[in-house]
Amino acid sequence: MNVTNFLKHHYRHFNAAALIDAAEGYNKHLAEGGKMMITLAGAMSTAEMGIQLAELIRQDKVQIISCTGANLEEDIFNLVAHDFYERVPNYRDLTAADEQALLERHMNRVTDTCIPEEEAMRRLEHSVLKFWEQADKAGERYFPHEFFYQILKSGELEQYYQIDPKDSWMLAAAEKNLPIICPGWEDSTLGNIFAGHVISGDIQNVHTVRTGIEYMIYLADWYTQQATEESKVGFFQIGGGIAGDFPICVVPMLHQDLGRTSVPLWGYFCQISDSTTSYGSYSGAVPNEKITWGKLGQDTPKFIIESDATIVAPLVFAMVLGQ
């Protein structure tokens, strides 16, 4: 029994049934000529979601990605330093002294997984700094993901690859030149490193890395060109936060601030979240709340799966990939 048949046989009620509905809705949206955005919050790259996300990219089942700066860089960290990562299955039992010991070994913990600073972060910094400095001296400016594409396409990191390259979603995205939106990139390890190099004078122009406002302009142009009544853009949101809230707002911005009222609303919406419905939380807002903000319509197919994305997303993606 393959994954899809197993799920359809056993996943019949509650969040399990919502998973089936969302996956079938995703497939229906694509079958009708739609496009899809996937948004990545949290530490999905460190969770190695790239194994399936890369295949979605290769099979043209996602046309654009919005992610945090952490997810952008952590896929590459994993690509070049996977063998140096350490898993801490008993992370709930760690004392403050245990955490201090990890710090002293330069092991940065993300739940049960420790990212090695030297082999991952500093290795990538060594490469990206050269590209930042070259652009800075030439008076050129690029988005964060464009700098990463340049590095990956240059091949200079290949000597460090420690996973099968086909399991890196950033490599798959670079090969397709996939549009990426990375709002709030400043809130990332490489964002902090870039700030440090500006302060130290290695980078003269702080705008050598293009900004979040420019990302919104870039997204507005992309959405205006790509979203039509015959080919609407869907929105598959993993987690909450800026990775989801920033790009979904492009529609009301186009309608209300630019008067492009002929541009269609998002054509599909699904969110996987473990945030319960609460007061003032974007991550915990039910999809219908987005109708009031001009993001979704009354008839937009809407799904919410209240569960752990690291468990749920691979199952949805398996169905979308026909596994």
For residue 134, is it within any domain? Answer: yes
**Positions in the chain short of pLDDT 50:** none
Structure confidence by residue, pLDDT tens digits, 120-157: 999 999 999 999 999 999 999 999 999 999 999 999 99
For residue 29, is it within any domain? Answer: yes
- Residue 95, phi then psi, degrees to nearest 5: -90, 170
Q: Which residues contact 21 (CB under 8 A, 6 or more apart)?
A: 303
For residue 54, give its domain range.
3-85+119-321
Residue 312, amino acid? V
Residues 207, 212: Cα–Cα separation, whole Å: 11
Q: What is the pLDDT of residue 285?
A: 81
According to DSSP, residue 192 is labeled H
Sign of the four-CA dihedral 252, 256, 259, 261: positive
For residue 91, is it within any domain? Answer: no
Return the bridge partners of 233, or none. Answer: 35
The tokens for 167 are 């399991």
Q: What is the pLDDT of residue 57?
A: 98
Structure confidence by residue, pLDDT tens digits, 231-245: 999 999 999 899 999
Minimal CA–CA distance to 77: which of 140, 15, 157?
A: 157
For residue 257, is it within any domain? Answer: yes
For residue 246, is it within any domain? Answer: yes
Q: What is the pLDDT of residue 278?
A: 67
Q: Which residues contact 108 (CB under 8 A, 6 or more apart)?
A: 102, 114, 115, 116, 117, 121
Number of domains in the chain: 1
Q: Are 283 and 39 in contact (CB under 8 A)?
A: no
For residue 96, is it within any domain? Answer: no
For residue 100, is it within any domain? Answer: no
Q: What is the pLDDT of residue 302?
A: 97
Strand, coil or helix: 64: strand
**What CATH number should be reported for the domain holding residue 59?**
3.40.910.10
Minimal CA–CA distance to 287: which of 6, 22, 11, 2?
A: 22
Residue 20: is it exposed, middle or buried by C-beta count within 10 angstroms (0-12/13-18/19+)? Answer: buried
Strands (E), 167-298: 180-181, 233-238, 268-273
Q: What is the pLDDT of residue 286?
A: 85
Minimal CA–CA distance to 183: which of 213, 223, 208?
A: 213
Q: Are 210 and 141 in contact (CB under 8 A)?
A: yes
According to DSSP, residue 110 is labeled E
Q: What is the pLDDT of residue 281?
A: 75
For residue 95, is it within any domain? Answer: no
In this structure, the number of other CB atoms found within 10 A of the CB of residue 110 comes to 17
